């Protein structure tokens, strides 16, 4: 941390600290001073030609102030040096800081991660803890050509509140960390050198409205620029598009706003609108032209609603905008004076798109849409809440490539560029206001004193983002209770923008409904209808319903509105189980219009320890209090924007094409088109017939046009073949892009399916050959053949040694294992089930021998052990069958007591030398998969370095499991290990010990050793993840090892 100690000491000695100032930052009615009215995002140019170039960096009327600023950090408002805002105040000894950035990420103060607990004592609107202050100073000159222009200073985002001075004169105040603040600084400017001084408060009364589940960081975290404007200029514009009943032709309506700062006579002045297609061809035969006075001096009726379309025209058969086909036009607006000269122009991308809610369904351009969404926080592993344009683009590219079609800007407006990307690449957006009062519930929504702040945050968001076709819902915030302040904001939105709908999950329960249940009543249903919601929201939104609860909402007789799960599938750590069950239900019911995974990215901050090892930090790692530890680590991508294994499950479940095998003999398949606006003509179908993972036939088929929502049968060109009864045959179909798109290359795979055609007619058996000798030991038996010696321990049932031509193959014994290293969901506070499972953790190491028997046959020795487990009424049977060729078959039978909890895992664990560096297997891969999260892993033959079999979660936990495996080989310098399942099995291989993996809290605490831990499992319980804090965090019942008896067997073979 840096505290400008030398300046602080100097300030104390010279007593230059300010006296107590009036605390406007603790007044919810004082939210701005001299801040300009909100408007849509645009960049101004002197001419239409320059505006159409769409390069704001080249505009002569824009000057960016990003880069190095002088910076002073004070740990509290009490220690701010007096006179700092004066024009001549010396700042040459201050530090430099880059803008935009968060000062905590530059070493000033402490990053704080907390979910819902406020980082200060709760007494709104007061901040009763130290309140750090950052003072920024930037010196600049006015560009040539800006004479007689108005100069607007734009801050894209400052957290949480700030005062502004220009050349020593107070120019303004603002709060709301996630929306722009603009000021007209013209009266304060000098002709030559100028100085901006910004005093930023870490906390303000606005912080009570910003209690989101993310890192609390401070500073000027979005871009800063100045923009020159003529005295008469276009201050704003709003665009609407409205289709006719056939969705063929559409009205384009434009409402410009003119500002006339010097009361110029506007007679003869005009505003001209032109529309260009994506190839920059003009769409209109003549530009739309209206007199400037008809805009500036518009007369408003006494009674009737104001007619929106000041400028309007009917566009015949425009290209439509949707997430699947995000076609954008360019609209230019040009203000001309009485001589016809261009005064000012700007250009904006627009889309022809209409969104409707009909009979519980969501329609875009008349077609039903399901929102396959994610919640996205602004996050950068290096810069915190400051996210670069490159990082935003990478986010959007990944979403598109992984079949995500919607994003909720949880829980605040994003940088305008993010919406530009959603428009351009095609993502539906729920745009959410920067309102969350989680720590005090609905207290502030029911307090009139806060009404202005609520309305201001919603209004400014809508005004800024109103022209983006990607936005289809406005959200009133998140987890802020429900009250008249929300209702007032919803009323404004509905009247201002009838083309979109209002979302707010907190608006639950309508007290006027006869079936309403009072909050706190014993029968109060969580996440369910109560029995319906206030009328000012257009959709019924819920968080973290189970699949059964979601279906209960869908069939409720009270609910007439569409239903959305704005948060579900909590992806904390190794999670996201049973995603398929959710989407089977969502596809089944038209009124379930979609769901948004929590959340997109791990909010880890990249750090380096004293030994140079990198790791991701989370809550508490900076000494921050209060904190919620790793509860911010719940993304489906890592903080470095690389996919977690769960993202492949998302891609598979979200794919828009589904294939089923109609006839094995003829290889007829049924193709279901789940797109909303595509007929599959953009895809190629490739197929291959696999035998034990190897391609034996392949081909390509043309896909006939198939209407959205329809299905069709086609016959694949599989030649006749004679299946080998010992092999497994699978038909795989792949749907690839025919052509390159903005977000993926030609040939990129968007969907796939596998269908089993033939299964082997026999199961693997142990081959018995060669001679054996046995030696009875005090506590076991030694079995030897020509090339090997295997030693078994009687008391534990373990294989404690296996010598292959004199070389020891085991680093640790082969032992039963009933435990798994806990996942974040396993450790959830409300997961009582997993806590009960802890009886199994050391059970395999505390067995009591019941019986032991050795039988010998020609070429075969069998060892039968039966053990009592230290879990009520539970026993374990172990059988080893050792062949003279060195192979051994392991059989395990467990009989659980009827009252015992389910098993976390069932299998065997051992360790081999670290020179087993290469793996091959036939099973689900290539990435990890689990019982309830394996749809996105395809059955195949894989060759993978052993170190790539595991996966590093931010908080180390269970990882690297591979499901439905038929066989596994590990290749080393000293031999080859082969595991063959009698039936399919799971496996994982780690370079760490289970104890280290369970104890470590960060990846830099993992200690790579000279051995690999190998787990061979019948199964382990599913991952769960309906949430990560309650009883719903655990795996669903069908993904638990709850049966009374299990039998598991595999063949193990070491070869040199």
- pLDDT tens column, 708-729: 999 999 999 999 888 999 999 9
**Measured in whole angstroms, how far is the alpha carbon of residue 268 from the centre of its chain?**
52
Q: Do the beta carbons of residue 1025 and residue 1033 sit within 8 Å? A: yes
**Can you give the pLDDT at residue 769?**
87
Q: Say if CB 503 and CB 430 are below 8 A apart.
A: yes
Q: Are residues 449 and 552 in the same domain?
A: yes
Q: Among 952, 861, 859, 970, which Cα is nearest to 913's?
A: 970
Spatial strand order of the sheet with 288-291 comes to 288-291, 270-276, 329-336, 342-350
Q: Are 911 and 982 found together in one domain? A: yes
Contact, 209 vs 435, CB < 8 A?
Answer: yes
Cα–Cα distances in angstroms (integers) from residue 218 to residues 110, 195, 271, 1003, in the given order: 10, 22, 41, 28
Tell whether 155 and 179 lie within a shared domain.
yes
Residue 1039: which domain range? Answer: 773-1055
Which tokens in the block code for residue 1004? 């830099």
Residues 1021, 931: contact at Cβ < 8 Å?
A: yes
- pLDDT tens digits, 990-1021: 999 999 999 999 999 999 999 999 999 999 99
Which pLDDT does position 91 carry in this prediction? 98
The CATH number of residue 896's host domain is 2.70.98.10
**pLDDT tens profile 268-303:** 999 999 999 999 999 999 999 999 999 999 888 888
Whether residue 200 is contained in a domain is answered as yes
**pLDDT tens string 392-450:** 999 999 999 999 999 999 999 999 999 999 999 999 999 999 999 999 999 999 999 99
Q: Is the pLDDT of residue 10 over 80?
A: no
Give CA–CA dist 581/869, Å, rounded.
35
- Across the range 474-478, mean pLDDT stands at 99
Q: Is the pLDDT of residue 669 over 60?
A: yes
**Same domain (yes/no): 158, 244:** no
Q: Which residues are catalytic?
A: 479, 567
Could you give the CA distance from residue 537 to residue 564 in angstroms, rounded to a whole number? Answer: 12
Instruction: Compute the mean pLDDT over every residue in the chain, rounded to the nearest whole number.
Output: 95
Please give the structure tokens belonging to residue 466.
Answer: 């109103």
Radius of gyration of the chain (CA): 33
- pLDDT for residue 5 is more than 60: no
For the record, the structure tokens of 908 come out as 């065997």
Q: What is the predicted pLDDT for the residue at 974?
A: 79
Does residue 759 lie in a domain region? no
Q: Roughly how many angstroms between the first and final C-alpha of the chain, as a whole number?
A: 57
User: What DSSP designation does 302 have?
Assistant: S
Domain limit, last residue, from 739, 759, 789: 739
Tens digits of residue pLDDT in 25-34:
999 999 999 9
Q: Are residues 262 and 392 in the same domain?
A: no
Given a cut of 90, is residue 512 above it in pLDDT? no
Nearest residue to 569 (alpha-carbon basis) of 649, 478, 504, 505: 649
Pairing, β 592-597 against β 563-568:
parallel
Instruction: Report the pLDDT value the prediction gives residue 20, as an integer from 0 to 100.
Output: 43
Task: Among 355, 379, 409, give the residue marking a domain's end.
Answer: 355
Per-residue burial over 226-255, b = 16 or more CB atoms within 10 Å of its CB, e = otherwise: bbbbbebbbbbbbbbbbbeeeeeebebbbb
Tell me if 45 sits within 8 A of 61, measured CB to CB: yes
Pairwise CA distance, residues 802 & 787, whole Å = 11
Residue 493, domain CATH: 3.20.20.80
3-class secondary structure, 352: strand
Would you say 572 and 824 are in contact if contact means Cβ atoms under 8 Å apart? yes
Q: Are 1008 and 991 in contact (CB under 8 A)?
A: yes
Decide: 400 and 426 in contact? Cβ < 8 Å: yes
Strand, coil or helix: 66: coil
- The token duo for 89 is 């105040």
Asked if residues 1012 and 946 have their Cβ atoms less than 8 Å apart, the reply is yes
Q: For 958-964, what is the mean pLDDT?
A: 99
Which residues neighbour 807 within 8 Å (Cβ) at sequence distance 6 or greater? 974, 975, 1056
Whether the predicted pLDDT of 14 surpasses 60:
no
| Residue from 685, 697, 671, 690 nearest 731 by CA | 690
pLDDT in tens, 34-71: 999 999 999 999 999 999 998 999 999 999 999 999 99
Tens of pLDDT along 199-252? Answer: 999 999 999 999 999 999 999 999 999 999 999 999 999 999 999 999 999 999
Task: Give the domain CATH number at 295.
Answer: 2.60.40.10
782 & 733 share domain: no
Q: DSSP E strands: which ranges in 206-365?
A: 214-216, 219-220, 224-229, 232-243, 250-260, 270-276, 288-291, 311-315, 329-336, 342-350, 355-358, 361-364
Residue 50 lies in a domain: no
Instruction: State percent of the chain over pLDDT 70.
Output: 97
pLDDT at 521: 60
Q: How confident is the model at residue 522 (pLDDT cuts 50, 70, 90)?
A: low
Q: Supply 372's token pair.
A: 């396959």
CA–CA dist 779, 792 (Å, integer): 8
* Tens-place pLDDT, residues 837-855: 999 999 999 999 999 999 9
Does residue 765 fall inside a structural domain? no
Residue 221 structure tokens = 């975290």
Whole-number Å distance between alpha carbons of 962 and 933: 10
Beta 711-715 vs 729-737: how paired, if at all? unpaired
Give the three-state DSSP class for 455: helix
Residue 872's pLDDT band (cuts 50, 70, 90)? very high
Please say which residue of 646, 672, 689 terminates a domain: 646
pLDDT in tens, 677-709: 999 999 999 999 999 999 999 999 999 999 999
Kindly state whether residues 207 and 249 are assigned to the same domain.
Answer: no
Pairing of strands 860-868, 848-857: antiparallel
What are 256's two structure tokens? 């410009």
Residue 581 lies in a domain: yes
The answer to whether residues 622 and 667 belong to one domain is no
How distant is the alpha carbon of residue 1012 from its chain centre?
Answer: 32
Within-domain flag for 768: no
Share of the chain above pLDDT 90, in %: 91
Question: Is residue 48, in this structure, part of any structural domain at all?
Answer: no
Confidence of residue 7 (pLDDT cuts 50, 70, 90): very low
Q: How many Å apart are CA 289 and CA 535, to the nearest integer?
A: 40
Give me the count of residues in the chain.
1056
Q: How many CA atoms lie within 13 A of 136 on its CB side?
A: 27
* pTM for the whole structure: 0.95
Return the pLDDT at 525. Answer: 47
pLDDT digits (tens, 9 = 90+) for 878-919: 999 999 999 999 999 999 988 999 999 999 999 999 999 999
Give the span between the Cα atoms of 946 and 963, in whole angstroms. Answer: 16
d(CA 551, CA 578): 15
Question: What tens digit of pLDDT does each residue of 85-117 get?
Answer: 999 999 999 999 999 999 999 999 999 999 999
Question: Does position 488 have pLDDT exceeding 50, yes or no?
Answer: yes
Q: Determine contact, residues 403/655, Cβ cutoff 8 Å.
A: yes
Residue 815, both tokens: 């032992």
| CA distances (Å), origin 240, targets 213, 250, 598 | 34, 10, 32
In a domain, 586, yes or no: yes
For 618-665, write each residue's pLDDT tens digit: 999 999 999 999 999 999 999 999 999 999 999 999 999 999 999 877
Lowest mean pLDDT among 156-160, 300-304, 587-591, 848-852: 300-304
SS (H, E, C) 98-112: EECCCHHHHCCCCCE
Q: What is the mean pLDDT of residues 752-777?
A: 92
Number of separate domains in the chain: 5
Residue 2 has pLDDT above 70, yes or no: no
State how far the Cα of 365 lies from the Cα of 128, in Å rounded to an integer. 51
- Poorest-confidence range of 509-518, 648-657, 958-967? 509-518
**pLDDT at residue 302 in the model:** 86
Question: Among 754, 796, 762, 755, which residue's Cα sits nearest to residue 779?
Answer: 796
Q: Are residues 671 and 777 in the same domain?
A: no
Domain shared by 701 and 802, yes or no = no
Q: Which two tokens stand for residue 113?
A: 């991660």
The verdict on 321 and 433 lying in the same domain is no
In this structure, the strands spanning 501-503 and 471-475 are parallel
- The tens digit of pLDDT for each residue in 309-327 reads 999 999 999 999 999 999 9
The domain that holds 81 is classified in CATH as: 2.60.120.260
**pLDDT tens readout for residues 329-378:** 999 999 999 999 999 999 999 999 999 999 999 999 999 999 999 999 99
Residues 220 and 237 in one domain: no
């Amino acid at each position: 941390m840096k505290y400008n100690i030398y300046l602080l000491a100097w300030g104390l000695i010279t007593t230059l600290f300010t006296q107590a100032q009036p605390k406007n930052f603790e007044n919810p009615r004082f939210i701005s001073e001299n801040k300009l009215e909100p408007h849509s995002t645009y960049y101004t140019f002197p001419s239409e030609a320059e505006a159409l170039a769409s390069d704001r960096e080249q505009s002569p009327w824009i000057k960016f102030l990003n880069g190095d600023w002088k910076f002073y950090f004070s740990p509290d408002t009490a220690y701010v040096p007096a006179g700092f805002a004066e024009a001549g105040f010396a700042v040459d000894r201050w530090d430099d800081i880059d803008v935009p950035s968060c000062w905590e990420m530059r070493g000033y103060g402490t990053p704080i991660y907390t979910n819902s607990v406020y980082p200060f004592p709760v007494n709104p609107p007061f901040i009763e803890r130290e309140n750090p202050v950052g003072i920024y100073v930037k010196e600049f000159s006015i560009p040539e050509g800006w004479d007689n222009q108005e100069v607007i200073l734009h801050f894209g985002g400052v957290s949480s509140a700030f005062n502004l001075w220009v050349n020593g004169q107070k120019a303004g105040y603002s709060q709301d960390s996630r929306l722009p603040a603009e000021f007209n600084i013209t009266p304060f400017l000098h002709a030559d050198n100028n100085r901006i001084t910004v005093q930023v408060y870490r906390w303000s009364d606005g912080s009570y409205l910003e209690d989101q589940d993310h890192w609390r960081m401070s500073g000027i975290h979005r871009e800063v620029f100045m923009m020159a404007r003529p005295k008469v200029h276009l201050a704003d514009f709003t665009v609407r598009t409205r289709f006719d009943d056939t969705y063929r032709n559409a009205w384009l309506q434009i409402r410009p706003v003119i500002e006339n700062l010097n009361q110029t006579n506007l007679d003869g002045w005009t505003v001209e609108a032109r529309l260009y297609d994506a190839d920059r061809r003009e769409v209109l035969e003549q530009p739309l032209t209206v007199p400037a006075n008809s805009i500036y001096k518009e007369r408003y009726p006494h009674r009737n609603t104001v007619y929106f379309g000041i400028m309007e025209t009917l566009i015949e058969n425009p290209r439509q905008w949707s997430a699947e086909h995000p076609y954008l036009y360019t609209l230019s607006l040009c203000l001309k004076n009485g001589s016809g000269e261009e005064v000012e122009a700007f250009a904006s991308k627009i889309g022809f798109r209409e969104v409707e809610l009909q009979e519980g369904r969501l329609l875009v351009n008349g077609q039903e849409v399901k929102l396959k969404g994610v919640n996205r926080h602004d996050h950068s592993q290096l810069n915190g809440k400051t996210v670069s344009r490159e990082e935003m683009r990478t986010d959007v590219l990944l979403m598109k490539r992984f079949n995500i079609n919607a994003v909720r800007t949880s829980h605040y407006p994003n940088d305008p560029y993010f919406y530009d990307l959603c428009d351009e690449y095609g993502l539906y957006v729920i745009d959410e206001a920067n309102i969350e009062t989680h720590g005090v519930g609905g207290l502030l929504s029911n307090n009139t004193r806060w009404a202005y702040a609520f309305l201001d945050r919603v209004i400014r968001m809508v005004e800024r983002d109103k022209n983006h076709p990607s936005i289809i819902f406005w959200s009133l915030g998140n987890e802020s209770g429900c009250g008249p302040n929300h209702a007032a904001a919803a009323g404004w939105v509905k009247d201002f923008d009838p083309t979109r709908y209002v979302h707010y999950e907190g608006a639950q329960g309508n007290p006027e409904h006869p079936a309403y249940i009072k909050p706190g009543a014993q029968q109060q249903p969580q996440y369910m209808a109560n029995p319906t919601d206030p009328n000012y929201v257009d959709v019924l939104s819920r968080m973290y319903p189970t699949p059964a609860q979601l279906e209960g909402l869908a069939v409720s007789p009270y609910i007439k509105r569409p239903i959305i799960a704005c948060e579900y599938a909590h992806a904390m750590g190794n999670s996201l189980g049973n995603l398929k069950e959710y989407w089977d239900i969502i596809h089944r019911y038209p009124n379930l219009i979609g769901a948004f995974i929590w959340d997109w990215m791990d909010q880890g901050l990249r750090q380096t320890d004293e030994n140079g090892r990198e790791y991701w930090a989370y809550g508490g790692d900076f000494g921050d209090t209060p904190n919620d530890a790793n509860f911010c680590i719940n993304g489906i991508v890592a903080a470095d924007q690389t996919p977690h294994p769960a993202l492949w499950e998302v891609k598979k479940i979200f794919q828009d094409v589904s294939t089923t095998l109609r006839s094995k003999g003829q290889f007829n398949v049924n193709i279901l088109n789940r797109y909303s606006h595509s007929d599959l003509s953009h895809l190629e179908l490739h197929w291959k017939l696999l035998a034990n993972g190897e391609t034996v036939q392949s081909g390509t088929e043309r896909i006939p046009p198939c209407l959205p929502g329809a299905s069709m049968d086609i016959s694949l060109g599989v030649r006749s073949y004679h299946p080998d009864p010992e092999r497994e045959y699978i038909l795989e179909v792949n749907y690839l892009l025919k052509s390159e798109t903005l977000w993926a290359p030609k040939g990129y795979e968007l969907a796939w399916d596998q269908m089993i055609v033939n299964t082997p007619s026999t199961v693997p058996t142990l081959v018995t050959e060669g001679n054996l000798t046995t030696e009875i030991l005090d506590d076991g038996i030694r079995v030897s053949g020509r090339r090997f010696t295997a030693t078994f321990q009687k008391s534990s049932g373990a294989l404690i040694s296996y010598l292959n031509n004199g070389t020891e193959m085991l680093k640790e014994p082969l032992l039963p294992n009933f435990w798994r290293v806990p996942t974040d969901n396993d450790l959830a506070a409300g997961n009582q089930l997993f806590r009960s499972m802890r009886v199994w953790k050391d059970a395999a190491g505390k067995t009591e021998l019941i019986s032991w028997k050795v039988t010998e046959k020609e070429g075969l020795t069998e060892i039968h052990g039966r053990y009592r487990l230290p879990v009520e009424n539970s026993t374990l049977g172990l059988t080893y069958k050792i062949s003279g060729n060195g192979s051994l078959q392991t059989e395990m039978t467990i009989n659980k007591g009827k009252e015992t909890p389910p098993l976390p895992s069932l299998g065997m664990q051992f360790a081999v030398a670290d020179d087993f560096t290469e793996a091959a297997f036939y099973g689900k891969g290539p990435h990890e998969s689990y019982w309830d999260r394996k749809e996105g892993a395809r059955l195949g033959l894989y060759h993978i370095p052993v170190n790539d079999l595991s996966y590093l979660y931010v908080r180390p936990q269970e990882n690297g499991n591979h499901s439905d495996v038929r066989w596994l080989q590990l290749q080393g310098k000293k031999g080859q290990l082969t595991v063959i399942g009698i039936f399919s099995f799971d496996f994982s291989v780690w370079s760490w010990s289970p104890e280290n993996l369970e104890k470590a809290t960060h990846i830099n605490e993992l200690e790579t050793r000279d051995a690999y831990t190998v787990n061979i499992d019948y199964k382990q319980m599913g991952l769960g993840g309906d949430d990560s804090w309650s009883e719903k965090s655990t795996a669903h019942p069908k993904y638990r090892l709850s049966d009374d008896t299990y039998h598991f067997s595999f063949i193990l073979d070491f070869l040199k």
